Each structure stands twice: as structure tokens, then as C-alpha cells.
Structure 1
Amino acid sequence: MNASPRIIIPVVQLTENEEQVKQALQICNACRYCETFCAVFPAMTKRLEFTQADIHYMANLCHNCGACLHACQYAPPHEFGVNIPQAMAQVRLETYQEFAVPASFGQIYKKTGITLVSVMTVLFFLLMLAGTWLNGTDLFGKYQGDFYAIFPHNFLAVLFGSVFVTAFILLGLGIIKFWKQTSDIIPEGVAQTDIIQASKNVLTLKYLDGGHGKGCNEEDDRYTQIRRVFHHFTMYGFLLCFLATIVATIYHYFFGLQAPYAYTSLPVILGTLGGLGLVIGPIGLLYLNIKRDPMHGDAKQKPMDRGFIFLLLIVSITGLALMVFRDTTAMALLLIIHLATVMTFFLTIPFGKFAHGFYRSAALLKFAVEERTAKSKTK
């Protein structure tokens, strides 16, 4: 009688940071003092063992609010040294690198700081400046706000549109890789209610309230909602700017209305509100990033964080300046500067801090599925 074939399960070698998360979660799972905190802890209590997929999932589920660190009786200087925010932040950065597409570009996440962003912006500025010079464009002429007198509409639409779409395709492929690894244990699939619940948690930034509604811990044990507020300004500022672009596209292609649009028009109003949000939010987040308790452990992400914040600021400030001074002789130069910052932003979409929102959204979707299936099993 032949013996049945043995199933060989490959053993995944965890990184040092992943091992640190695994050990911390095992201690937390025994303690459970923070069980009512953010989504990480309900997800943790559903597991007895933690695979690499579990660790990647929960690292991106963590919002780094700091509540568990300040509540933990095993946090440093205790010999166990449990520091969930620090451990999760380190693994989170590793996941961005691991799931990047192309994989060889993963290391860019470590380098997308202010220096790289500045160099890229200056490079694109010089390239576009050279293009206008070769075209014989008067950089200090008055164009009555007509941007297309500097660069043709079709040129801008094809160039920036193709880069934007390509960037989101690469980011999407990375998110798909992350989803496949972390969600292979969801046989029931994703229900509509899961999507609604995850979307609600994303749009309200639910877990930046610490899980208890009081907010994050920034510099000390005091709770504050300020980090959540500045994230809201940033997120909705970006969405309003994106919506302004969509509306302007509809105006151009479907109604034959070409820029420049009046200050009272919908694209300008949406863009102005979005631009203001992208000034207030990033300035606040930069301040919090500088003042943040180093125990939260996101020091390795700070170059990426600050590079992204800086980029959002220069995109929004140059965009607002372009709108204000579009009827002056400064318009052409401001347009070139703004377009250079936008191109830098587009190119760094798959390999910078912008990606974290999408990884976290995928983790929140899986969390919604787990919560629904857990409730259905208890009925």
C-alpha cells in the first residue's frame, strides 16, 4: 500500500521587524487590556498564531494612534519592551517595499524625502522651461489666464494623463499583491456591506480616534483629535482638487467650455477649497510629525512622510498662486513651476507615502469581512 503524499507547507522566514511584531502580538493576545482599542486588537484576538500575511495585514491596519503604547503595562522600560506602534511602523514600511511594482523600485520608498522631491521638481521645471524657450514662448507675456497659450491642451492631457494612469496602475498592482497575500483566508468573498463599512471607516478616518473616540496620543498621554482633523483637511483637500479636475474635463470635452474659468465657476471653487485644505492639512501634519513622540517608532518613515507633506504643500501653494496671478506677467513661470510639482507628485504616487492610504483601505476592507463573518458565526 502506497503512503499518501505528504503536503509540504513552505516555511516563510520572517524579518527581524516581523518577528518583533509577532512577539508583541503574542504578549498582547495574552493580556488583552487594549482589546477595545483600534481595529488591530479585534483582528488580533481572532488568531492564536500570526503568519507573515497576518503581520502584514495588521501592520497596515494600525493607524499609529499611540493609544496602546501609552496604555501598555509592558511598554519600555519593562523588560518585555512591547511597543506596537513602533513595531507596526517598521513592518509597514517593509510591506510598501515588498509589494511595489516593479519590485526593484521598492527601495524608492526609503528615498522619497524632501531632497529627492526637490531634485525631481527642479529637473522637471528646467525641462519645461527649456521647452518653452525652444518654442519661443514669452515667459513674461500677458496671456489673460490662458494656460494653453503656454502648453497646448492636448499635450498636457496626454503627458500628465498617461503618467497619472500609469502611476495608479502600478500602485493598483501592488495593492492586488498585498490583498492576495493577506486575504487568501477569506473563502466567503467580499460582500457589499463590507465595502460600505470599510468605506465609512476610511472616509471618517475612524481609527484615528484611538478606538475609544478620544483621539491619538501625540507628544504624551493626553488624547487629541488634532491628527485626525489635519488628516481630514489633507484627504478631502486632495479629493476636492481631483473633483475640480474631473469637472473641468467635463466642461472641456462635453460642454465645449475651455479654461480659464471664472472665479465663481465650479472647477475654480472646488480647486480653491481643495488647495486651502492641502495647505492647512499638510502644515498641521508636518508640525505633528516634528513634535511626535519618538517612541511611536515611525522615525524610519519620517523622510518619506516629510517628503510627501512637502510635495503636497508646494503643489497646493503653487496652484493657488497660479490662480491668483493668472492674469499677470507671472502666469507662465508659475504654471511651469506648478506643472513640475504635479509631475513629481504623479511619478511618486506608487512609491511614496500616498500609497499608505490604499494599503490601509485594503486592510480595513479585510477587517470588515472578518467582523461580518465573526458575527454571523455567533448567531
Structure 2
Amino acid sequence: MQSLEALTREASALASNEITVVSAMTAAEGEVSRIMQICNACRYCEGFCAVFPAMTRRLEFGRADAHFLANLCHNCGACLHSCQYAPPHEFAVNVPKAMAEVRRQTYVDYAWPAGFGALYKRNGLTIAVALAGGLALFLILATAMKGSLFLPPLAGNFYAVFPHNTLALLFGAVFLFSMIALGVGVRRFWRNEDPGAMSGAAIGEAAHDVLSLHYLGGGHGEGCNNASDAFSLARRRFHHLTFYGFMLCFASTCVATLYHYLLKLEAPYALASLPVVLGAAGGIGLLAGPAGLLWLNLKRHPQHGDVAQRPMDRGFIALLLLTSASGLALLMLRDTSMMALLLAVHLGIVMALFLTLPYGKFAHGIYRSAALLKWAVEKRRPSGLLVED
């Protein structure tokens, strides 16, 4: 009987040969294929996360499989520190890094329009900050030209600066564009490897895993590795603050919309009103969560992911931080003569955030949710190995 070392060596060789046969695969996709062949022979990490049981249902790892598994990976780092074939071993198995490189590639492959995805991939942080600054400056100049930049205190009446219909039309168009772009991307991702018919149980399991960030608990539920092999739940907690902070801000906007159109209650709203309370709570979450994620990103060990993706990650984090900081400043100073200036800055940043949603870190959350749903569907199919056509 062959030893495990011999089996994994043979798997590595087979995977390397496969890369030359499947010409459509990139080097990053080929590396995921090579590593998954080795992991499939070893299976030590099978219980760590959804990637490894999904891997065991496959004998070959084509382009679609690499994209699916890469987005299923939560980059917790547990498998890297448990792997006997991790660098400096000659097999150089680094699942988090290989998956992260393919995951970054999927942001471009599924982006619509495609050129926007490629541009953001190369210059994420620069584009995010420049777009936010440019849009904010445009709105500041427009406000100044109207003579509305330094008005007397207006008791938080934003519509005296920008009419409601103008804001609704402007942000409605931006939001619609983002949703269409994300929808096209997710549809492309899903059709790349259709797992079969969905069931209520599969949807429920996927929703639970997404909302609880289940797989950010790491392989043993102790959390993720970041700067070393030490486990911490900080990444999971900061993700929760960011996600639910964003959802509270979105809920605030939805409630304010219902107030305006259904109840005929127009802004400004009192500090104790539901839209303001939801928005303030969400703003605090969006300040604490991204600040923590940026701190972890700056400290992250280079082997725990794709270093080239960090400008994209930091671009999204920067926009979240700028959105929350400007929003909270606007809330605190809405009864002063600074309100119009802060409103223009805040709206410019929010517009930049929504315009870049389909091309950066937010898109990864959507694709990861789709990958979790795929896995929940796939695992309910009759047992058997999947081979890409």
C-alpha cells in the first residue's frame, strides 16, 4: 500500500499535468486545483469548514470548482497551521492564499461591466478614495453655486439643501445600478456550476451560516488566525459589527422612506425617532467594525491570504469608515451652519460606496453567500463524486 506521502506526491504531479491540459485555467486556478488534489488525498482538515467536505465530492477540480471552493473559503487560516505540507514543505500547500487569489479573480470574472471590475482590482483603494472625494467636491460646488453652502441653522432640514425628489432620483439610480451589477455577477457565478434544485432546508441552512458567520469560527470554533497561529474571534465580531451596522443603516433609510411616502411625515426627524435611532446605531457599528477589520488587515500575516488584494479590501473599509464618520458628524452638527457642507460630503461618500459595491469586498460577501447556498444544496444530493464537464 502506498504511503500518504506517496499518494499526495502523485496527486500533486497529476494536478500539475492537468494545468497544461485545461488551458482555460489561470495560474491561480491551477494552484487551487493542485492543492485540492493533495488535500483530497490527505483529508486531515475535513472537519474544519465547508470547503473540505465539498472537496471530497470531486475527483477533478476545474475552473468552476476552483471558483466555487474559493468563495466557500472564509480565510480563517486554521487549515494552514494544521497542514503538514504547508510551506516550507516542498508541496507548499497554502489553502487560504490560493483561495484568496482565485477569489480576487472572480470579482473581475463575474463583474458587470467587466472593465469596472478590472479597474477596481488594480487600484481599489485609490479609486474608492478618489471617487468619494470627487463626488463630495462636486456636491459641495453645486451647493455653493446655489448659495446654500453656509446657510443659517436649519434644524436638520436636509431637503432645504437638496430637494427630496433630487436625492431620491440620484440615489435611486445609483442603487439600481449597483443591484443590477450585483445581480448579473451572482447569476454568472451561480450558472458557472449549478448545484441543482433548492429546498427550504438548504435555504434555511445557508441563511443561518451567512447571518451567524458560522465559518468565521475557525476549524475548532475558537476563531481565526491573523498575525500568527493564535486563534481569535475578533475577526468574526468585527464582521458582525460591520454587517449589522450596515443593515441598521439600510433599515433606517427604509423606515424614513415609509415615513415620507406612507405616513406623510417629512424629515427632519427627532433624535428619538426610529429612523434616527436606527441610523445612529448603524453608524456606530459601521465605525467600530471596519476600524477593527482595518486593524486586523494591517496586522495580518502575508501567508494568510492574498497580499495583492489588500488595496481592494482597504478601499472598501475606507469607504465604510468615511461613510459612518461623516454620517455621525452630520447627525451631531445638523443644527449648525456646517450642516450643508457635511451633507454634501456625506452624500458624495455614500454615492461612491454604492457605485463600488459590485466590484470589491461587498461583492465577495454576496458570492460567498451564494457559495454557501450552493453547498447547502449540493450536500443534499445523493452521495457521489462531481466531475466538471
Q: Aligned Cα RMSD in Å?
A: 1.6
Alpha-carbon displacement from aligned partner over 1:63-102 (angstroms, at most 9, x marks no partner): 0000000000000000000000000000001111011111
Task: Decide which of 337, 344, 350 is 2:352's aligned counterpart.
Answer: 344
Matches within 5 A, 1:50-129: 50-129=61-140
Residue 292 (structure 1) shift = 0.6
Alpha-carbon displacement from aligned partner over 1:168-199 (angstroms, at most 9, x marks no partner): 1111101100100022xx34x11111111101
Q: Which residue of 1 aligns with 2:14?
A: none
Residue 23 (structure 1) shift = 0.5
Alpha-carbon contact 2:67-2:102 (below 8 Å) kept = yes
**What is the one-letter code of the residue matched to 1:210?**
G
Alignment partner of 2:270: what SS? coil
Alpha-carbon displacement from aligned partner over 1:178-234 (angstroms, at most 9, x marks no partner): 100022xx34x1111111110100000000011321111111121111100000000
Residue 12 (structure 1) shift = 5.2
Distance (Å, rounded) in 1 between the aligned partners of 2:31 and 2:301: 20
Q: Which residue of 1 aligns with 2:24?
A: 13
Residue 112 (structure 1) shift = 4.7
Identity over aligned pairs, percent: 56
In the superposition, the TM-score normalised over structure 1's length comes to 0.93
Distance (Å, rounded) in 2 between the aligned partners of 1:348 and 1:48: 37
Distance (Å, rounded) in 1 between the aligned partners of 2:82 and 2:323: 39
Alpha-carbon contact 1:99-1:174 (below 8 Å) kept = yes
Matches within 5 A, 1:105-184: 105-183=116-194
**What is the one-letter code of the residue matched to 1:228?**
R
Alpha-carbon contact 1:112-1:308 (below 8 Å) kept = no
Residue 140 (structure 1) shift = 4.0
Alpha-carbon contact 1:89-1:298 (below 8 Å) kept = yes
Alpha-carbon contact 1:112-1:351 (below 8 Å) kept = no
Distance (Å, rounded) in 2 between the aligned partners of 1:269 and 1:144: 17
Comparing 194-203 with 207-216, greater Cα deviation is found at 207-216
Alpha-carbon contact 2:135-2:348 (below 8 Å) kept = yes
Pairing 1:256–2:268 present: no
Q: Which residue of 2 aligns with 1:3?
A: none
Alignment partner of 2:303: what SS? helix
Pairing 1:300–2:308 present: yes
Residue 376 (structure 1) shift = 11
Pairing 1:35–2:43 present: no
Distance (Å, rounded) in 2 between the aligned partners of 1:276 and 1:302: 24
Distance (Å, rounded) in 2 between the aligned partners of 1:126 and 1:80: 52
Alignment partner of 1:296: what SS? coil
Residue 374 (structure 1) shift = 4.5
Comparing 353-362 with 116-125, greater Cα deviation is found at 116-125
Distance (Å, rounded) in 2 between the aligned partners of 1:367 and 1:100: 22
Alpha-carbon contact 2:36-2:55 (below 8 Å) kept = yes
In the superposition, the TM-score normalised over structure 2's length comes to 0.91
Distance (Å, rounded) in 1 between the aligned partners of 2:71 and 2:44: 21
Q: Which residue of 2 aligns with 1:201?
A: 209
Alignment partner of 1:295: what SS? coil
Q: Which residue of 1 aligns with 2:56?
A: 45
Distance (Å, rounded) in 2 between the aligned partners of 1:326 and 1:366: 46
Which stretches in structure 1 are left out of the alignment for 5+ residues?
1-9
Distance (Å, rounded) in 1 between the aligned partners of 2:382 and 2:313: 35
Alpha-carbon contact 1:56-1:182 (below 8 Å) kept = no
Comparing 101-110 with 352-361, greater Cα deviation is found at 101-110
Alpha-carbon contact 2:79-2:219 (below 8 Å) kept = no
Q: Which residue of 1 aligns with 2:233?
A: 225
Residue 121 (structure 1) shift = 1.6
Comparing 17-26 with 344-353, greater Cα deviation is found at 344-353
Distance (Å, rounded) in 2 between the aligned partners of 1:125 and 1:53: 40
Alpha-carbon displacement from aligned partner over 1:132-190 (angstroms, at most 9, x marks no partner): 1222224242111100000000000010111111111111101100100022xx34x11
**What is the one-letter code of the residue matched to 1:342?**
V
Distance (Å, rounded) in 2 between the aligned partners of 1:228 and 1:297: 16
Pairing 1:240–2:266 present: no
CA distance change for structure 1 residues 35 and 276 in 2, over 3 Å: closer, same or farther? same
Distance (Å, rounded) in 2 between the aligned partners of 1:118 and 1:275: 19
Alpha-carbon contact 1:112-1:352 (below 8 Å) kept = no
Distance (Å, rounded) in 2 between the aligned partners of 1:347 and 1:301: 19
**What is the one-letter code of the residue matched to 1:134?**
M
- Equivalenced residue count is 365
